[in-house]
Chain A
Amino acid sequence: MNAQSGAWTFFAEHRDEIFTATLDHLTLVVIAMMIAILIGVPLGMFIVQRPALRAIALGVASIFQTIPSLALFGFLIPIPFIGGIGKRTAIVALVLYALLPILRNTYVGLTGIDPAVLEAAEAMGMTRAQILFRVRLPLALAVILAGIRTATIITIGVATIAAAIGAGGLGTFIFRGVALVSDALILAGAIPAALLALLADFLLGLVERKLRVS
């Protein structure tokens, strides 16, 4: 029996398990992304007018991205409250990973607006809050969404490693497959993860195109 037909048989026999793992995986990603957006977008708005804080926030978020994901999961295990074994730790790590693209795109989107537009807004007597919510944010939305899209794809990939600290998800199959030297098991984790990433990319791409102005 070759690897391909072996994989198909495995898929057919473990349909339900694979489906449950995919849902688990998706849950991890959605929760982590929601937290990352709730932190990243407001923080990005906040640092627009504050250069000192901007350097720190972007610097720290960049550092998290440079830590290899397996190591980051490992580092978090001994930390109280947010650490330990399981989903919670995994979500914390995923949030830290997703933060940079969201934070950076929010900042870039808000600051990359035609200066003439911002000058006109100020000169027309709009308050700072009005400029932010009625001009900057609507014009930055497509760029912010591009950051969310990148972060989602990264998170779907990185979430497979969360299985290493007992968070479940599609990584479970991959780690088991590596341990048992079984291509079928590895593929049972990798293919749904890849499909999730492609689907997320496609759907968020559609929304992004809708939001892009001029």
Chain B
Amino acid sequence: MNTKPVLSAEKNIEFRDVSFHINDILSRLVLSGITLEIPQGETLVLLGRSGSGKTTLLKLINGMLLPTKGEILVQGASTRDWDPIRLRRGIGYVIQDAGLFPHFTVAENVALVPSLEKWDRCRTAVRVGELLTLVGLDPSEFADRHPRQLSGGQRQRVGVARALAADPPILLMDEPFGALDPVTRAELQREFAALARRLGKTIVFVTHDLREAMLLASRIVLLEKGRIVASASPQEFLGLDHPEVHAFAASLDMTPGAPA
């Protein structure tokens, strides 16, 4: 069933004993003692409740946040040493509300990174067409629309196309399907699972939905209060004996009155 691309031994992203705390009066610890290796081509799903530190972990990868302690290596270099602009142009990023630019057309949104990288017009146009087709939007129908003329699901498809535009080796996704209605969400999850397998990119995907994690992940990492409490393949995950795993497993069971 889950035909994963061959993982190269190369460590694409590596967390070395990383802690992060917000520098306010309380000095709250958001993440502590995170050690994690993400090989090329893996789809790693970060699972956890709200406030467990998932999004923070994601933003540490593209240098939107820098660790308080420890370091994160992306393609062999610490995020402290990377030029943040160069680092981010090589990492696709998709967020819950898509964050499309309302004053840009769909085509201009998708062409954002290519235009920043000064691709020529012809190459960009071809790429935009490819990507819209890839995410299931007919370019002749959608390229010239504005984000406000799209449904939530369509916006999110454009968000994915934009993230893939310059063919980055790494893709970060922060609850990308979280704001969609259940039917559209299921549709996009299925399509994206197939797409992810074809693309062979390193994907770090944040969610609080175990079902989504099971569908997409080659590995699930469970966060609780800023620490990694479990890490397993989707097949093994439910068999783990940890209270937080049980709590998430119970969330799958929808039958009223069923034992947790």
Contacts and interface: CB of A to CB of B under 8 A. Distances in A.
Interface of A: 114, 116-127, 130, 135, 138-139, 213-214
B100 A123 contact: no
Interface of B: 62, 64, 84-89, 91, 93, 95-103, 112-113, 116, 146-148, 159, 162, 172
Contacts of A125: 84-89, 113, 116
Contact of B113 (A117, A124, A139): A124
Contacts of B102: 114, 117, 139, 213-214
Nearest to A130: B116
Contact of A124 (B88, B98, B148): B88
What are the nearest 5 A-B pairs in CB distance?
A120-B99, A125-B88, A125-B89, A123-B93, A116-B99
Contacts of B172: 123
Contacts of A139: 101-103
Contacts of A116: 95-99
Contacts of A114: 97, 99, 102
Nearest to A123: B93
B64 A123 contact: yes
A126 B87 CA distance: 11
Which of A117, A123, A139 has the most CB atoms of chain B within a 10 A radius of its CB? A123
Contacts of A122: 64, 88
Contacts, number: 65
Contacts of B86: 125
B95 A119 contact: yes
B65 to A, nearest CB: 11
A214 B101 CA distance: 11
Contacts of B84: 125
Nearest to A127: B85
Given A214-B146, A214-B148, A124 B93 contact: yes
Contacts of A123: 62, 64, 88, 91, 93, 95, 172
B100 A117 contact: yes
A114 B148 CA distance: 13
B55 to A, nearest CB: 10
Contacts of A124: 88-89, 93, 112-113, 116, 162
- In this complex, which of B62, B91, B101, B172 has the most chain A Cβ atoms within 10 angstroms of its Cβ? B101
Contact of B103 (A119, A120, A127, A213): A213
Contacts of B148: 214
Contacts of A135: 101
A118 B91 CA distance: 16
B101 A117 contact: yes
A213 B91 CA distance: 29
A75 B199 CA distance: 70
Contacts of A120: 93, 95, 98-101, 159
Contacts of B159: 120
10 contacts: A114-B97, A114-B99, A114-B102, A120-B99, A123-B88, A124-B112, A125-B84, A125-B85, A213-B103, A214-B148
A213 B101 CA distance: 10
Q: Which of A117, A120, A122 has the largest count of B CB atoms less than 10 A from its CB?
A: A120
Nearest to B165: A124
A112 to B, nearest CB: 13
Given A118-B99, A119-B99, 7 more contacts: A114-B102, A124-B89, A124-B116, A125-B86, A125-B87, A126-B116, A214-B146
A116 B85 CA distance: 18
A190 to B, nearest CB: 41
A121 B147 CA distance: 15
Contacts of B91: 123
